[in-house]
Amino acid sequence: MQKVLMLLSILMHIVLIAGYFINSGIIFFTSYFWIIFCLISLFIGLHYHFSKVNLNEKDLTYRILAIILTISSSVSLIFLLYITFINPFLYLDMR
């Protein structure tokens, strides 16, 4: 079940990035939700990666999904912090 939740969180991060490039103006209405989601999934990915689970349950795919979730959530968080606080008019430069 944890593998499915990690995979769904990774897909949500892909939807975030795709949603920004499809309609960048809508991200600003939900940017704080996305930042909270990124923080939660970052902590979940770190928890899954460093958890003390039996070796039978924690196989290679489990570790790979935890690493990918941690990386995707940290990249999404950096991207969101950049477009929210540093350069909020980035979407105007793209058009």
pLDDT band at 80 (very low <50, low <70, confident <90, very high): confident
How far apart CA 54 and CA 69 sit, in angstroms, is 21
More confident residue, 18 or 24: 18
Per-residue pLDDT for 74 more than 90?
yes
**Percent of the chain whose pLDDT exceeds 70:** 83
DSSP secondary-structure letter at 53?
A: -
CA angle (44 as vertex; 50, 26 as ends), nearest 5: 150
Mean pLDDT, range 61-68, rounded to an integer: 86
DSSP secondary-structure letter at 69?
A: H
pTM for the full model?
0.78
Q: Which domain holds residue 58?
A: 2-94
Mean pLDDT, range 80-88, rounded to an integer: 81
Cα distances (Å, whole numbers) of residue 66 to 23, 26, 70, 90: 29, 29, 6, 31
Per-residue model confidence (pLDDT) at position 73: 92
Q: How many separate domains does the chain show? A: 1
Q: What is the largest CA-CA distance in the chain?
A: 51
